[in-house]
Amino acid sequence: MQLRLSAAGRVLVTGGAGYIGSHTVLQLLLEGCSVVVVDNLDNSSEVAVQRVAELAGEFRKNLTFHKIDIRDKEALEEVFASTKFDAVIHFAGLKAVGESVQKPLLYYKNNLIGTITLLEVMAVHRCKKLVFSSSATVYGWPKDLPCTEESSLSAMNPYGRTKLMIEDICRDMHHADSEWKIMLLRYFNPVGAHPSGDIGEDPRGIPNNLMPLVQQVAVGRRPALTVFGNDYLTKDGTGVRDYIHVVDLAEGHIAALKKLFEDPKIGCEVYNLGTGKGTSVLEMVAAFEKASGKKIPLVFAGRRPGDAEVLFASTSKAEKELNWKAKYGIEEMCRDQWNWASKNPWGYESPDTANGGVTK
Ligand code: NAD
Ligand code: UDP
């Protein structure tokens, strides 16, 4: 698949020090783009940006990093005043579902105010091309599968509501001013890491998602994985999700940018980024055990409130219109996840500085 970006020269990436952001920034640099990353490092480390620069080789000269909170309008103004951006990829946001239920205002303030501030500054500087990180969570507990971009939407928690609201804000922006060209990308479940093992997922605090937890059990940072629910109407009773390799997801952003730059008919468009395949928790654990040679002890618990039973994507719209399709399966996802974990058992930190340890 040839995704060469010809027109997308200068790209601002919010949240570019984070998990998906760092992988996407690397792809953008390798495509020849100039990339400015803004991130407040709330859930990430500057080391990720340094590693991306190293992996980018000669292209590292095209990468700039600013430690900025996107709600800080003045700081964002300065960044836009210094560079004329062709597009923005907006990853910055808080993403822990459970925390969003406990601290809804934190989520509304960060994700909504952050996005509105960004859109305001973009408008002033006449940069009106945006790629936004939405989520499969907007499908709630779907009645029909696979989820197509036309499936009904419902949010099951404040985090999901921020995604739905931001999607609506983007549709309204385009409706009010057709110069806005926006891609809303609904990610399914990103896992794995860059094959180098130098960048990967390293959330601060106790992870929420399945694979960072599996990984921490494998390297001895946690005693066991708690499986949330084994009474679902699925093949083995555990929840089913559409896991997608983070490198495939990063490529999906390149494809979306390419479309944004090359197709004059683009308005505000939605695309699912997934593989179209459903995998259960137990299947994922088995694949990881095979890839790592490590036994993952399991503790079975009740269902996690707000969890859907089964979620997987229809990928045909992205395949047809973005000319993009995920290449990797769960074997490669687990292989690369383990490569990252075994090379970096404490993520970007050391045992002394990492705050995701069992005792914290
Ligand atoms: P991440 O936490 O690793 O990355 C998000 C980055 O944004 C972090 O580096 C964080 O420090 C930064 N950030 C947060 N608030 C900020 C602010 N106000 N100003 C500046 N920087 C800020 O998460 P990720 O997994 O890379 O997710 C990226 C985006 O994709 C998020 O919007 C998330 O909601 C969305 N998404 C993630 C998943 C997933 O499972 N990982 C699934 C669907 C959608
Ligand atoms: N899950 C689990 N134990 C955990 C974390 C997740 O059994 O410690 C299950 C969860 O119930 C779901 C699947 O793993 O069926 C994926 O969960 P994740 O939080 O990674 O993604 P999401 O639910 O947001 O799609």
Geometric angle at alpha carbon 111, from 107 and 112, rounded to 5°: 105
- The ligand 1 atom nearest the CA atom of 68: 20
Q: How much distance in Å is there from the Cα of 5 to the middle of ligand 1? A: 24
- The ligand 2 atom nearest the CA atom of 311: 25
Q: How much distance in Å is there from the Cα of 280 to the middle of ligand 2? A: 10
User: For ligand 1, is residue 97 a contact (CB within 6 Å)?
Assistant: no
Question: 10 Å Cβ neighbour count for 261?
Answer: 18
Closest among 65, 69, 173, 81 to 129, alpha carbons compared: 173
Q: What is the pLDDT of residue 6?
A: 55
In the annotation, is 159 catalytic? yes
Strand-pair partners of 243: 189
Q: What is the pLDDT of residue 26?
A: 98
Q: How much distance in Å is there from the Cα of 252 to the middle of ligand 1? A: 16
Q: What is the dihedral of CA 77, 81, 82, 88, to 10 degrees?
A: 70
Q: How much distance in Å is there from the Cα of 242 to the middle of ligand 2? A: 11
Hey, whose CA ends up nearest to atom 13 of ligand 1?
A: 92
Q: What is the pLDDT of residue 353?
A: 62
> pTM (2 decimals)?
0.96
* Peptide bond before residue 146 is cis, with ω within 30 degrees of 0: yes
Q: What is the pLDDT of residue 204?
A: 85
Q: What is the pLDDT of residue 178?
A: 97
Q: What is the pLDDT of residue 5?
A: 61
Catalytic residue among 19, 139, 159, 232: 159
Question: Which residue out of 234, 281, 311 has the highest number of ligand 2 atoms within 8 Å of its CB and is therefore the one to mutate?
Answer: 281
Question: Which residue out of 133, 184, 206 has the highest number of ligand 1 atoms within 8 Å of its CB and is therefore the one to mutate?
Answer: 133
User: For ligand 1, is residue 187 a contact (CB within 6 Å)?
Assistant: yes
Ligand nearest to the CA of 209: 2
Task: Write out the chain's pLDDT in tens, 360 residues.
Answer: 344 565 558 999 999 999 999 999 999 999 999 999 999 999 999 999 999 999 999 999 999 999 999 999 999 999 999 999 999 999 999 999 989 999 999 999 999 999 999 999 999 999 999 999 999 999 999 999 999 999 999 999 999 999 999 999 999 999 999 999 999 999 999 999 999 999 999 988 889 899 999 999 999 999 999 999 999 999 999 999 999 999 999 999 999 999 999 999 999 999 999 999 999 999 999 999 999 999 999 999 999 988 999 999 999 999 999 999 999 999 999 999 999 999 999 999 877 665 543 322
Hey, whose CA ends up nearest to atom 3 of ligand 2?
A: 227
- The ligand 2 atom nearest the CA atom of 208: 19
Q: What is the pLDDT of residue 337?
A: 97
Q: End-to-end CA distance of the chain: give it in Å, rounded.
A: 44
DSSP class per residue in 294-347: ----EEEEPPPTT--SB--B--HHIIIII-------HHHHHHHHHHHHHH-TTT
- The ligand 1 atom nearest the CA atom of 17: 9
Q: Which residues line the pocket of ligand 2, CB cutoff 6 A? A: 189, 208-210, 213, 225-228, 239, 241, 281, 304, 307
Question: Which residue out of 99, 228, 284 has the highest number of ligand 2 atoms within 8 Å of its CB and is therefore the one to mutate?
Answer: 228
- The ligand 2 atom nearest the CA atom of 136: 25
Q: Tokens standing for 103?
A: 């601290």
Geometric angle at alpha carbon 243, from 240 and 249, rounded to 5°: 155
Give the whole-angstrom CA distance, residue 197 versus residue 341: 8
Q: Which amino acid is residue 251, in one-letter code? A: E
Q: How much distance in Å is there from the Cα of 68 to the middle of ligand 1? A: 14
Ligand nearest to the CA of 214: 2
Ligand nearest to the CA of 283: 2
**Are the beta carbons of 163 and 169 closer than 8 angstroms?**
no
Q: Tokens standing for 233?
A: 């109407």
